[in-house]
Amino acid sequence: MELRHLASFLAVVEEGQFARAAARLFLSPPAVTGHVRQLERELGVPLLERSPLRLTEAGERLVPHARAALAAANAAADAVAGLREDTPRGSELRVGIMVHGSAELTPAILRAFRRARPETNVTVVSLDFTDHVAALVEHRVDVAFLRPAPDDERIVSDPMTTEPRIITVSERCPLADAEALRLADVVDEPFLGLPDGVSRAFSDYLYFGTARNGEAPRLNPEGVRTPQDVLTGTAAGRGLSSGLYSFVRFYSWPGVRFVPLLDAPWEHSVLAARRDDTRLEVQAFRSLAVALARDLGPTLVPPPPLPRPWSGGNDSRPRAAGR
């Protein structure tokens, strides 16, 4: 859900015509129409009736939330804009993003920062699983959207989203038939392995280290580094993997199912930075991100449904493919 789509939707509602909304936003009418249609596709419901133009019930419910989201984004941008005079022109900020970052918050924060501080050159860097700590401590990025929070005294983390956990399973695996699972259903299954160099915090997150009481999981030596590695390995039946609930909204893959874990502890995605980095552009980015996470997080990252848990029981629990 993009802020510009919400802005187009509100403009149509307030102006009463697509043409007047387009003129107000300095866009073409087809662009505004496209924004509203994209928003309707993402939400899965019509927001406007076209002839005559009026709000649907879903549209009426969205209006106050859309106004709150846009107001929060503008307030966050205004909060850091005052630092602009102290930042030299041509300053740079390298933003690392691992997997899909902090869901829909990530692009919202980047857009708001660019609007508030256009004199800062922002570069986005894709990070793989081995970069969880290394990219920051090796000064390859200045801030990074990660999960979970790094367990390293050199790094400070600001929580962005707090989400339930899911398991990725092959559609040929008996576990794929479950509407939901519990940790006891999966901890003994083989998981996709990670390459050397991955931080302990990330491997504990991926393999539910706390639930295992220190016992190592059974691993297939895949050496997965990226979400694509996870999805291809899962589809091939080589093992399970895990993620945050928002992973479902950003990735799909033939032969892969995502199953909620009902009793797994919820986990944060975070914005991380070096503790000793006091540059104004880093402080401004963190301040804006924290403000948007507080105000937009509940709107942009909806909670999952609560499906019935799988009832196979431990004794008859199905085994993952390839065992």
> Which option is the CATH number for 88-161+267-300: 3.40.190.10, 3.40.50.300, 3.40.50.720, 3.10.450.50?
3.40.190.10
Q: pLDDT confidence of 309, banded at 50, 70, 90? A: low
Return the SS3 of 134: helix
**Fold exhibited by the domain 3-81:** Arc Repressor Mutant, subunit A (1.10.10)
Contact, 197 vs 138, CB < 8 A? no
| pLDDT at residue number 204 | 92
Backbone angles phi, psi at 126, to 5 degrees: -75, 135
pLDDT tens-digit readout, 219-249? 887 789 999 999 999 999 999 999 999 898 8
**Which CATH number is 165-261 given?**
3.40.190.10
Would you list the DSSP string of 300-313? HSPPPP-PPPP--T
- Is-same-fold flag (88-161+267-300; 165-261)? yes
Of the listed ranges 205-209, 275-279, 287-291, 319-323, the least confidently predicted one is: 319-323
Assign residue 90 a region (left: φ > 0; alpha: ψ between -120 and 50; beta: otherwise): left
Between 71 and 134, residue with greater pLDDT: 134
Distance of CA 157 to the CA centre of its chain: 16
Inform me whether the pLDDT recorded for 306 exceeds 60: no
What pTM, to 2 d.p., does this model score?
A: 0.70
Inform me whether the pLDDT recorded for 104 exceeds 80: yes
Return the SS3 of 140: coil
Q: pLDDT confidence of 318, banded at 50, 70, 90? A: very low
Residue 112 neighbours by CB distance under 10 Å = 26
Q: pLDDT confidence of 316, banded at 50, 70, 90? A: very low
Given the structure tokens 């919202």, which residue do they identify? 108
Average pLDDT over residues 95-114: 90
Return the top range by mean pLDDT from 154-158, 175-179, 197-201, 296-300. 154-158
Sequence spans of domains, the chain? 3-81, 88-161+267-300, 165-261
Contact, 210 vs 113, CB < 8 A? no
Kindly state the greatest CA–CA separation across the chain: 66
Cα separation, 46 vs 37, whole angstroms: 8
